[in-house]
Chains A and B, each alone.
Chain A
């Protein structure tokens, strides 16, 4: 029973982290039909900005409790500088091209940003351990868990529920849904689709940067950080259905719980189990669990 409890807690923590990271990816695909590989770069940029700015904050002796706000500010800062630049300077000229071409363009940007990160931050690791231990621990089934993990869970809930609220309960969200459904008709109806694309790309990238920034206190921030997350995020959104918000949530929970179960009960299959689940889902529902029927255009 105790072990099942810890499987649950570990699964929830992992799912929350994964959901925050994958949410922006599914949002950008849903609105812009871009399989955005630079999502991993924004995760890494968020982690680097979070680690370096928060590290500087703590080194100067400023209040450690505010470091959580500094992490948020770091993610905002780096995203607001880089994401609009990429969208306005490069991506907006590519929207007419095939999805595969745009995927390759974002992959090229991902590689470029990896080198930019090395140019700016070098190859040595960055650490900010204080925020992880600052809030103390809570105990479940006799095991201690840093309370910081609850921030990750809260971040996932706020991001997911907030985005759902924006999409379904605000005017902006309803206009965005119109853009998702048909950009051409939306443009004809007077909606500034380009602006929605810019805002969507920036907001989606911000979610990745936030995931990176709030992961920074738990890891060593090193080059290549964005590679692993992009693979896992793709697995999550593919399981849930590309572009689906509830799909991303369910995908993250499935991946988190299945991984946790395998780590506790069959560690030898941990490496393969996530991709096995993905393969099974795709075998029976090739467009993911929450895929919607697409209208024929002609």
Chain B
């Protein structure tokens, strides 16, 4: 009888408890070509982190249950589809699903489209992965944040690594996808190389169509040009096809090949990636993650739950949740324990510094809305049947990110001058 009464009371209180949940819209690719390398690993990370935080099992200072004691409730949404669809879906999330905030978006195009809408609807959005620096360089927002570094860091870090790993480099070449990501990545890398090594010559820049899949001709052109270094920001099946088709032809042996998102293929392709290939992880993630308590918690928990390695998209999603959680709780404490408003959370997140599985994240640029982190690159080596990274070099956040108020392209053109 006592149990029945308890159950009835619990059932009666359930709607009240549910109303107190923090409802978070999580948007990432669940279908389409970006699902496998980014979307699903990010979704898995979101599920693991939410489960752990709701159980109060995060590492200090993330030990409080959910967000400030309120359970997190996730509304998961597929990012696949046109930008127009994403804007409509975002409005639905805010106005119909009544989410408290949104964490998501892999595509830079989607981020650029969502940012002004978030501002219009006064809804806090944290972009977890998209790379374009234009969001906070071309716009100014109160409700929009990005807790991951921009693509500029990847390209500048790659150029610094090339200079360190191949002193006396004379020529470079690129193979990048023919859309904003590929063109910007190559443009920044080429410019950064010319600043670091003014005499460097660009042999060829291949820009095949996104998801072209067949790269025999491009590989021939690259091999005929015989550059010292090849840069590629390929991702997903294109990245894997380049490795599968270029490896047997000796592309990575002939030229030092730097794959800025190569970490996403590392655990899948393993032995197919020739030794000496330079892999990036868009920050200190995956094999470059520090040996801190947050990484032990995240990596161990993720591998335990999914029986596979988390990739950089997983790390970025995890730190997106942790950054917002800390800001939420800071804002809640400042308002005397009351549920904070989006404005209060935004004020707390702006300019903040927090620790995550990838190390220290500082919301240092974009008027405190854009994160900077250190980055790292290393070269592959097969050891004991497992692909590892060696010759790892780390670059401090200030060395690979522009200072506050300076556009990425201007910063590179200035020869990486501090403000």
* B214 x A268 contact (CB < 8 A): no
Residues of B within 8 A of A2 (CB): 224
* A227 x B40 contact (CB < 8 A): no
Contact residue range for chain A? Answer: 35 or more
Of B31, B206, B268, which one neighbours A223 at CB under 8 angstroms?
B31
* A267 x B206 contact (CB < 8 A): yes
A24-32, A63-71, A144-152, A190-198: which lies at the B interface? A144-152
User: Is residue B220 contacting chain A, with contact meaning CB distance below 8 A?
Assistant: yes
Return A221 CB to nearest CB of chain B, in Å. 8
**Which A residues, 123 to 158, have Cβ-Cβ distances below 8 Å to chain B?**
123-125, 127, 129, 132-133, 137, 141, 143-146, 149
A6-14, A84-92, A202-210: which lies at the B interface? A6-14
17 contacts between A and B (CB under 8 A): A2-B224, A118-B31, A123-B30, A123-B35, A127-B240, A127-B268, A218-B245, A219-B240, A223-B32, A228-B212, A260-B217, A263-B206, A263-B208, A263-B217, A264-B220, A271-B178, A271-B209
With a 10 A CB-CB cut-off, give which of A17, A223, A259 has the most chain B CB atoms.
A223
**A219→B244 CA distance, assembly (Å):** 7
* A137 x B237 contact (CB < 8 A): no
User: Is residue A224 contacting chain B, with contact meaning CB distance below 8 A?
Assistant: yes
User: Is residue A220 contacting chain B, with contact meaning CB distance below 8 A?
Assistant: yes
Return B403 CB to nearest CB of chain A, in Å. 33
Q: Considering only CB atoms, which chain A residue lies closest to B175 in the complex?
A: A267
Residues of B within 8 A of A11 (CB): 217
**A31→B224 CA distance, assembly (Å):** 44
Interface residues of A, dominant DSSP: helix
* A228 x B224 contact (CB < 8 A): no
Residues of A within 8 A of B200 (CB): none
**Apart from A14-B214, A264-B220, A271-B209: 16 A-B pairs, beta carbons within 8 A:** A2-B224, A9-B220, A10-B216, A10-B220, A14-B216, A17-B214, A125-B36, A129-B244, A132-B248, A215-B214, A219-B214, A220-B239, A222-B236, A222-B237, A223-B31, A224-B237
Return A170 CB to nearest CB of chain B, in Å. 33
* B249 x A127 contact (CB < 8 A): no
* A6 x B211 contact (CB < 8 A): no
Residues of B within 8 A of A271 (CB): 178, 207-209
Size of the B side of the interface (Cβ < 8 Å), in residues, is: 40
* B221 x A264 contact (CB < 8 A): yes
Return A225 CB to nearest CB of chain B, in Å. 7
**A125→B237 CA distance, assembly (Å):** 8
* A137 x B249 contact (CB < 8 A): yes
**Which A residues, 261 to 289, have Cβ-Cβ distances below 8 Å to chain B?**
263-264, 267-268, 270-271
Say yes or no: A144-B207 contact (C-beta < 8 A), given A219-B240, A220-B236.
no
With a 10 A CB-CB cut-off, give which of B207, B214, B223, B239 has the most chain A CB atoms.
B214
* B241 x A218 contact (CB < 8 A): yes
A residues with CB within 8 A of B: 2-3, 6-7, 9-11, 13-14, 17, 118, 123-125, 127, 129, 132-133, 137, 141, 143-146, 149, 215, 217-225, 227-228, 259-260, 263-264, 267-268, 270-271
The 4 residue pairs across chains A and B that have the minimum distance between CB atoms:
A220-B240, A10-B217, A263-B217, A220-B237
Residues of B within 8 A of A124 (CB): 36, 40
* A228 x B213 contact (CB < 8 A): yes
* B211 x A228 contact (CB < 8 A): yes
Contact with A along B40-66 (1 / 0, CB 8 A): 100000000000000000000000000
Return A10 CB to nearest CB of chain B, in Å. 4
User: Is residue B204 contacting chain A, with contact meaning CB distance below 8 A?
Assistant: yes
Q: Considering only CB atoms, which chain B residue lies closest to A13 in the complex?
A: B216
User: Is residue B18 contacting chain A, with contact meaning CB distance below 8 A?
Assistant: no
Contact with A along B155-191 (1 / 0, CB 8 A): 0000000000000000000000010000000000000
**A223→B205 CA distance, assembly (Å):** 28
User: Is residue B341 contacting chain A, with contact meaning CB distance below 8 A?
Assistant: no
Return B376 CB to nearest CB of chain A, in Å. 25
Residues of A within 8 A of B342 (CB): none
Q: Considering only CB atoms, which chain A residue lies closest to B218 in the complex?
A: A263
**A10→B222 CA distance, assembly (Å):** 13
* A224 x B32 contact (CB < 8 A): yes
Say yes or no: A264-B207 contact (C-beta < 8 A), given A219-B237, A224-B33, A225-B237.
no
* B217 x A129 contact (CB < 8 A): no
Of B212, B221, B240, which one neighbours A125 at CB under 8 angstroms?
B240
Residues of A within 8 A of B239 (CB): 220
**A2→B35 CA distance, assembly (Å):** 41
Residues of B within 8 A of A225 (CB): 213, 237
